[in-house]
Amino acid sequence: MNTASHLSLRLKATYPIFLLLGLSMTLACKKQNPDKQAITEPISAVKLIDLSDKYLAYGKDFQLDLNGDKRADFLFTAFHVSYDLNTKAKLVFQLLSTTTTRIAVNTTNESTPVLLKGQKVETTTYNGYEWFHVGEIILTEKFYGNGPTYWSGNFTSNGLRYLPFHLLVNGKYYSGWLEISTDTDKEQVRLHRAGIALQPDLPVVAGE
């Protein structure tokens, strides 16, 4: 057999190998780029509201109307509670939703999800929480009296935390958030900003 014949047979023998290598590389590229097939959930833009560091303290209860319809969307109150035969006490900072708003509540401990900047305000139920109209949650508490003094609660932080909510307008829900921090030295809970979705039934991003 001449040299040309040998070369032709060797090339034919390598065809399947090249085909297999090409198929493997194509499949690998498809696995490494799954994002091209992903469907991203739409996010609504928000209307930002400056709350001017409005603060909640004992004797400084207030209502909050977020959309200017002259109805209270939230009630904020602070009060003292005695317990253990009046040997101990706590200062409770509480938020209540109204018929125009709903908040996610864990009914076991009256808490709500705490979001950080960049996290999503869901339109559906958070794990362990249910959305309630006329619900109440404890933002933070100061314990004092016979024993050590300390603070406890999901919003016990001087850093910014975000409380998710839904606002009811004309029969539709608009996702939103409250930007909150706690000043334990001054015994105050401060409200910095709020954000409300411009489109109903869509999530928004806290702090943005």
Write the burial class of residue 185 (CB in 10 Å: 0-12 exposed, 13-18 middle, 19+ buried).
exposed
Q: Between β-strands 204-205 and 136-145, what pairing exists: parallel, antiparallel or unpaired?
A: unpaired
pLDDT at residue number 111: 82
Residue 130 pLDDT > 60: yes
The residue-averaged pLDDT of 153-167 equals: 96
In the three-class reduction of DSSP (H, G, I as helix; E, B as strand; rest coil), residue 111 is classed as: strand
Residue 6 pLDDT > 80: no
The residue-averaged pLDDT of 49-60 equals: 98
Q: Tell me the pTM.
A: 0.79
In angstroms, how far is CA 208 from the centroid of its own chain? Answer: 12
pLDDT at residue number 39: 46
- Phi and psi dihedrals of 97, rounded to 5? -85, 165
pLDDT at residue number 155: 96
Q: How far is CA 14 from CA 1, 21, 27, in A?
A: 19, 11, 20
96 or 111: which leads in pLDDT? 96
128 or 99: which leads in pLDDT? 99
Share of the chain above pLDDT 90, in %: 69
> Which residues 6+ apart lie within 8 Å of 33 measured at CB?
none
Residue 14 pLDDT > 90: no
pLDDT at residue number 17: 43
- Please state, in angstroms and rounded to a whole number, the distance separating the CA atoms of residues 172 and 169: 5
Q: Among 29-38, 86-95, 150-159, 164-173, name the one with the lowest average pLDDT.
A: 29-38
Q: Comparing C-alpha atoms, which of 36, 20, 47 is closest to residue 175? A: 47
Q: Comparing C-alpha atoms, which of 148, 130, 51 is closest to residue 90? A: 148
The residue-averaged pLDDT of 77-94 equals: 95
